[in-house]
Amino acid sequence: MKMKLKALFALVISGSIACMAGCATTGIERVAETTSKMQTVQTDIKQAVAQADATNTSLENLIKPEQKDLKSNFDAYSDNVGKMDKIGKQLNKHIDQMIARGRDYFTEWEREGETYKDVQLRELSAERRTELRKVFDQIPETSSDAKRSLDAYLTEINEIREQLSIDLTPKGVETITPIAEKTVRDGNDLKEAVKPMLSAMDRGMAEMGQGAAAGGQQ
């Protein structure tokens, strides 16, 4: 049954039977669009993790006791916060787009599958769609924790920057140090929070990629 489902998926996404008259894209094109969104998010995550490391380092430099260049260290931290904020917002945007594109993909597949006159083909199409959808649904599920961790970190680093812009003094730095140390830990936790999401996307692309490769050999 697994082989039958894989073979069916190859046919569906190849566009040879999946596309109704007048549809704008083939199954292969929709798979490519969906996996492309996943790849974009993976790239964003790598950038976010790298920038979180840079932001943490600059924050740790800023709260070091008895430092002699408070203004320069604050400027470096502020610059990193700006970069992290931009990357984080971009990541959140692309996650939402990826999830929306994936849901549209399954909606289009279901709509087209219901047009098949062959009852067995229609049933096999629905079974394969359900199987793959279970894989894809792990992505929005895991993204919730990743986005929650990211949003919390972005809030913390921005509030620290705002507070120190008001009170950039040794005493001011000393006051926010416990919060800053927690923020550094939260930045490190962010790297762990995105791992399940990355794994879920890898599984989704592997499933879709198998079908796309098979479809290309028809």
**DSSP structure string for the chain:** -HHHHHHHHHHHHHTTTTPPTT-SS-HHHHHHHHHHHHHHHHHHHHHHHHHHHHHHHHHHHHT-TT-S-HHHHHHHHHHHHHHHHHHHHHHHHHHHHHHHHHHHHHHHHHHHHTT-S-HHHHHHHHHHHHHHHHHHHHHHHHHHHHHHHHHHHHHHHHHHHHHHHH--SHHHHHHHHHHHHHHHHHHHHHHHHTHHHHHHHHHHHHHHHHHHHHHHT-
- Please report, in angstroms and rounded to a whole number, the separation of the first and last CA atoms in the chain: 20
129 Rama sector, left if φ>0, alpha if ψ -120 to 50, beta otherwise: alpha
When comparing pLDDT for 96 and 7, which is higher? 96
Where do the domains of the chain lie?
25-212
- What pLDDT shows up at residue 5? 46
pLDDT tens for 163-205 read 999 999 999 999 999 999 999 999 999 999 999 999 999 999 9
Helices 2-14 and 27-62, axial angle in degrees (round to 10):
100
- What pLDDT shows up at residue 12? 45
When comparing pLDDT for 34 and 5, which is higher? 34
pLDDT averaged over every residue in the chain: 85
Residue range 129-152: mean pLDDT, rounded? 93
- What pLDDT shows up at residue 119? 87
- What pLDDT shows up at residue 174? 95
CA distance 68 to 58: 15
Q: How confident is the model at residue 58 (pLDDT cuts 50, 70, 90)?
A: very high
When comparing pLDDT for 68 and 70, which is higher? 70
- What pLDDT shows up at residue 11? 45
Residue range 4-17: mean pLDDT, rounded? 44
Q: How confident is the model at residue 140 (pLDDT cuts 50, 70, 90)?
A: very high
- In terms of pTM, does the model score above 0.85? no
